[in-house]
């Protein structure tokens, strides 16, 4: 089954499931609505017609989609011609070229030319396959100062055209990948595949076990023009199946350890003999993954960067200068070429140092005199100086984007002082964590400050609501006060665990999870049965005339359905978000937020059932509805094992009032990533350059951002 057909099948089944759920919910709503008094102006017949029509429409729509897919699944489709494939490749090549030309302009990758960093074959033999499998004769990439055109030529000379680009932080791996994509597109022959750059963080190998399936799905999503009517809806799958796409997978190191190893295994398992590939990763992480799986990437050449000569660094910086540069620049470049500024020569021997000089002095067009003074001293002092100037330079030159999000421009306006203070606070918190000094996790923010005050406040609020609800229902304020106090104590204990819980997500997959459903149903059935017994006995056990027996069977049924729906189904879909399945910090944050919304919805279902039970009494209708829904809402909030998003929402305002983080903390972290100050690795943020993190952690010990 093709990826697109599988998606259509899944959507059709989901539509049917949603239709059934809608029909069940409207039936439950009908039971409540028919108990409303006539003065509300809703007759039982009209309510029944409206509820059943709504559920039937939802179910019918799902059945129509499912039947449509069933009829089409076996229908014969015409195969695309060679002309169709060639046209699709030209369209894809044009789209990719336009996309990454814009990015190179934004990031100044080719302004005025690519950074002349030399690359050579990796010296560690265990990281690459046998040389005779990689290339005919000697392995390419001898480590010379070659142009990007020579790099593309060396890549084409490989036997299987597979390449792994390694390097440390800031060595230009992504830059080289983008430049290779554009050069391969510029010189592409009609029979060659189209290179497409993709982020490794987007590949979930649980959903797409083969590289080809993920690649086809990504093409269909990112380049919808490939599914135009004239080309056929299955053109992405066709291009991938015929080997007409060269995947350039960037950032393998941004995945968790297990996910990296799994991806390398999946690549080796899913690539055919003629499949081409380019992959980027940090050297240390790639070596760990190769050791874990006990195998290298099949038939792939592995290259790593070499130090840049002072003359090459000076030529590159000179080419980046404006037509009329500052009068000090000729002296800076002369001393760099002569070697009379040893600190400057050492710093600019790497792409990170060269980028720091360009970002802090050429981009903002400021006086470069400090490069002369500090360049004659120690490299450490010069490096610290450049780190000091980096944040103000990036904030001033990368203004917020207007319109759609852009990868390398922030979405919000922050001052340089704010960015510096907040990142300093995070770096100092990481410095205190000996077990994990690199990962900035959004749910760890709850560990950075005491939660005692907010726990007590929330517990008092919950206890007050429960007391008021029971006082209104029973007319016994003293009894309500006891129950409220007990509820507050329980809530304080439960809420305390929120600040130590990891994020979760709602998992609706059936395959392999039926065994988990049985225990969840068992517990839900037990509690639901107890609720039904209480519902049946409540009219008879009540001493007040308001609870005269009417229809105890219906009361018990409502209690049973409500509690089973909440305790069984909601508990079953709730799953922890492991590093393996987390693809980005924002997606993890959104998944836990969505899980919270599902639990609240389940609580409202219980509230609806409670309202239905209370409607059998003579209590005021408005009070009955409010009490039932409020109790159900509280129940939905407290239930579950994953409350990281709620803890985050309770923590960030307190950090913001102390000036340690902004109120929109996730937006700030995202923008710091777009500015190039942070990177992502699975669900975590990390400082893109460990040197910057260490520098910020050392500075301003007494600053407001440096405290705990």
User: What tens digit of pLDDT does each residue of 231-279 get?
Assistant: 766 888 999 999 999 999 988 887 877 888 888 999 998 888 889 999 9
How high is the pLDDT of residue 201?
Answer: 75
Q: What angle, rounded to 10 degrees, do the helices at 585-614 and 644-657 form?
A: 110
Classified as helix, coil or strand, 245 is strand
* Adjacent-strand bridge partners of 279: 164, 249
CB 371 within 8 A of CB 344: yes
The DSSP line for 530-582 is: HHHHHHHHHHHH--SGGG--S-HHHHHHHHHHHHHIIIIIIHHHEEE--TTT-
Which residue bears the tokens 């017949």? 45
User: In the CATH hierarchy, which top-level class contains the domain 82-305?
Assistant: alpha beta
Tell me the CA end-to-end span of the chain in Å, nearest whole number.
Answer: 55
Half-sphere exposure of residue 505: CA atoms within 13 angstroms, side-chain side: 17
Taking the complete model, does pTM exceed 0.75, yes or no? no
Q: Which residues pair with 248 in a beta bridge?
A: 197, 278
Tokens at 386, concatenated: 């450049």
Domain boundaries, the chain: 3-72, 82-305, 323-334+342-397, 416-449+658-703, 511-633
Q: How far apart are CA 62 and CA 57, in angstroms?
A: 9
Sign of the CA dihedral running 349, 350, 355, 360: negative
416-449+658-703: CATH topology is Arc Repressor Mutant, subunit A (1.10.10)
DSSP assignment letter at 195: E
Report the C-alpha dihedral over residues 347, 348, 352, 355, rounded to 10 degrees: 130
Q: Are 518 and 510 in contact (CB under 8 A)?
A: no
- Decide if 286 contacts 166 (C-beta within 8 A): yes
Return the H-helix or E-strand segment holding 163. Answer: strand 162-165
Quote the CA–CA distance of 604 and 29 in Å, as a whole number.
Answer: 12
Pairing of strands 301-305, 119-121: antiparallel
pLDDT at 432: 86
Calpha distance 673→356 (Å, rounded): 17
| pLDDT per position as a tens digit, 606-665 | 777 667 666 665 666 766 777 777 777 777 777 778 888 999 998 999 999 999 999 999
**CA 256 to CA 263: how far, in whole Å?**
11
Distance CA 180, CA 161 (A): 13
Q: Quickly tell me which residue has 């852009």 as its tokens.
A: 406
Instruction: Report the C-alpha gap between 498 and 241 in whole angstroms.
Output: 47
Q: Which residues of 261-285 are buried (b: 16+ CB within 10 A; e: fewer)?
A: bbbbbbbbebbeeebbbbbbbbbeb
Evaluate whether 51 touches 29 at the Cβ level (below 8 Å): yes
Cα atoms in the 13 Å half-sphere on the side-chain side of 393? 21
Q: How many helices (H) and strands (E) does the chain have?
A: 27, 10
Query: What is the pLDDT at residue 249?
Result: 93
Longest dimension (CA), the chain: 100
What tokens does 458 get?
A: 């929330």
The CA distance from 279 to 277, in Å, is: 7
108-151 tens-digit pLDDT: 666 666 677 788 888 788 898 888 788 776 555 665 555 788 88
In the block, residue with structure tokens 């899944």: 10
Residue identified by tokens 């993890």 is: 588
Q: φ and ψ at 4, to 5 degrees?
A: -70, -40
Cβ contact 158:140 at 8 Å: yes
Q: With beta carbons less than 8 A apart as the criterion, state whether 332 and 345 touch.
A: no
Cis peptide before 239 (omega within 30 of 0): no
The half-sphere exposure of 147 on its side-chain side, counting CA atoms within 13 A, is: 4
What is the reported pLDDT for 615?
Answer: 67
Residue 529: per-residue pLDDT: 61
d(CA 266, CA 208): 10
Question: What are the φ/ψ torsions at residue 589 (nearest 5 degrees)?
Answer: -60, -45
Whole-number pLDDT of residue 18: 46
DSSP 268: H
- What is the secondary structure of 481-504 as a DSSP string? HHHHHHHHHHHHHHHHHHTTPPPE
Buried/exposed 101-115: b ≥16 CB within 10 Å, e otherwise: eebbeebbbbeeebb
Q: pLDDT tens, 34-89?
A: 444 544 444 444 344 334 444 444 444 444 444 444 554 544 456 678 888 898 99
CA angle 693, 653, 398 (to 5 degrees): 45
Long-range contacts of 221-229 (CB under 8 A, 24+ apart): 223/91, 223/92, 223/95, 223/96, 225/91, 225/95, 226/88, 226/91, 226/92
How far is the C-alpha of 116 from the C-alpha of 110, rounded, in Å? 11
Question: In sequence order, what DSSP letters do the residues of 445-481 get, joined into one string?
Answer: GGGSS--HHHHHHHHHHHHHHHHHHHHHHHS-HHHHH
Q: pLDDT below 70 — which residues of the chain?
A: 1-79, 102-114, 137-146, 170, 229, 232-233, 403-407, 435, 473-474, 509-568, 578-583, 609-610, 612-620, 622-623, 681-682, 699-708
Q: For residues 341 and 336, what is the distance between their CA atoms, to the nearest angstrom?
A: 6
Helix/strand/coil for 626: helix
The span from the CA of 506 to the CA of 645, in Å, is: 13
pLDDT of residue 176: 86
Nearest to 538 by CA among 546, 629, 169: 546
The first and second tokens of residue 135, run together, are: 């290339």
pLDDT at 364: 87
688 phi and psi, to 5 degrees? -60, -35
Q: Which helix (H) or strand (E) holds 397?
A: helix 379-397
List of long-range contacts for 8-11, beta carbons under 8 Å, 24+ apart: 8/69, 9/69, 9/73, 11/65
Residue 695, helix vs strand vs coil: helix
Cβ of 574: how many Cβ atoms within 10 Å? 19
Residues 500 and 648 sit within 8 Å (Cβ to Cβ) = no
pLDDT given at position 474: 64
């Amino acid at each position: 089954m093709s990826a697109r057909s599988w998606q259509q099948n899944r959507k059709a089944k989901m539509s049917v499931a949603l239709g059934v759920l809608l029909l069940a919910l409207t039936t439950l709503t009908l039971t409540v609505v028919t108990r409303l008094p006539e003065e509300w102006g809703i007759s039982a017949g009209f309510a029944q017609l409206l509820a059943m029509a709504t559920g039937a429409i939802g179910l019918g729509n799902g059945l129509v989609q499912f039947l449509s897919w069933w009829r089409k699944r076996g229908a014969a489709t015409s195969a695309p011609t060679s002309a169709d494939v060639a046209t699709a490749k030209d369209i894809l090549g044009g789209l990719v070229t336009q996309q990454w030309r814009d990015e190179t302009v934004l990031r100044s990758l080719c302004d005025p030319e690519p950074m002349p960093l030399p690359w050579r074959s990796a010296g560690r033999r265990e990281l690459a396959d046998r040389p005779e499998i990689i290339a005919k004769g000697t392995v390419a990439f001898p480590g010379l100062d070659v142009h990007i055109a020579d790099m593309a030529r060396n890549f084409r000379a490989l036997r299987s055209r597979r390449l792994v680009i390694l390097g440390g932080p800031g060595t230009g791996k992504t830059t080289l990948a983008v430049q290779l994509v554009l050069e391969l597109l510029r010189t592409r022959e009609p029979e060659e595949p189209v290179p497409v750059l993709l982020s490794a963080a987007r590949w979930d190998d649980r959903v797409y076990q083969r590289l080809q399936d993920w690649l086809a799905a990504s093409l269909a999503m990112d380049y919808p023009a490939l599914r135009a009517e004239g080309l056929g809806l299955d053109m992405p799958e066709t291009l991938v199946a015929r080997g007409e796409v060269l995947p350039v997978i960037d950032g393998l190191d941004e995945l968790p350890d297990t996910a990296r190893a799994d991806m390398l295994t999946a690549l080796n398992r899913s690539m055919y003999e003629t499949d081409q590939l380019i992959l980027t990763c940090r050297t240390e992480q790639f070596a760990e993954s190769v050791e874990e799986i006990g195998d290298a990437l099949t038939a792939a050449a592995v290259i790593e960067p070499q130090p840049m000569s002072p003359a090459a660094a000076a030529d590159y910086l000179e080419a980046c200068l404006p037509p009329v540069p500052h009068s000090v620049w000729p002296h800076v470049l002369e001393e760099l070429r002569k070697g009379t500024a040893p600190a400057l020569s050492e710093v600019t021997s790497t792409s990170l140092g060269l980028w720091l000089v360009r970002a802090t002095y050429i981009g903002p067009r400021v006086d470069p005199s400090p490069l002369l003074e500090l360049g004659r001293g120690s490299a450490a002092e010069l490096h610290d100086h450049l780190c000091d100037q980096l944040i103000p330079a990036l904030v001033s030159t990368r203004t917020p984007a207007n319109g759609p999000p852009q990868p390398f421009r922030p979405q919000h306006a922050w001052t340089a002082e704010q960015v510096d203070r907040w990142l300093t606070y995070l770096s100092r918190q990481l410095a205190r964590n000996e077990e994990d000094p690199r990962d900035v996790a959004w749910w760890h923010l709850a560990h950075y400050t005491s939660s005692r005050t907010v726990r007590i406040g929330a517990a008092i609020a919950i206890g007050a609501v429960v007391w008021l609800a029971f006082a209104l229902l029973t007319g016994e304020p003293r009894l309500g006060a006891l129950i409220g106090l007990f509820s507050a104590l329980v809530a304080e204990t439960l809420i305390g665990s929120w600040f130590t819980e990891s994020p979760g997500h709602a998992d609706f997959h059936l395959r392999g999870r039926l065994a988990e459903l049985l225990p969840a149903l068992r517990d839900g059935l037990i509690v639901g049965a107890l609720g039904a017994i209480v519902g049946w006995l409540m009219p008879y056990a009540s001493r007040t005339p308001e609870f005269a027996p009417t229809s105890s069977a219906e009361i018990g049924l409502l209690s049973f359905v409500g509690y089973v729906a909440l305790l069984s189904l909601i508990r079953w879909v709730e799953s922890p978000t492991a590093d393996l399945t987390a693809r980005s910090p924002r997606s993890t944050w959104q998944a836990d937020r969505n899980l919270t919304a599902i639990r609240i919805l389940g609580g409202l279902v219980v509230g609806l059932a409670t309202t239905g039970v209370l409607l059998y009494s003579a209590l005021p209708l408005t009070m009955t509805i409010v009490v039932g829904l409020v109790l159900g809402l509280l129940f939905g909030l407290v239930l579950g094992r994953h409350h990281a998003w709620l803890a985050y929402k309770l923590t960030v305002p307190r950090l913001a009032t102390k000036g340690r983080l902004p109120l929109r903390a996730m937006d700030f972290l995202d923008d710091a990533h777009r500015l190039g100050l942070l990177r992502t690795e699975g669900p975590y943020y990390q400082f893109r350059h460990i040197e910057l993190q260490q520098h910020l952690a050392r500075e301003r010990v007494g600053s407001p951002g440096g405290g705990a």
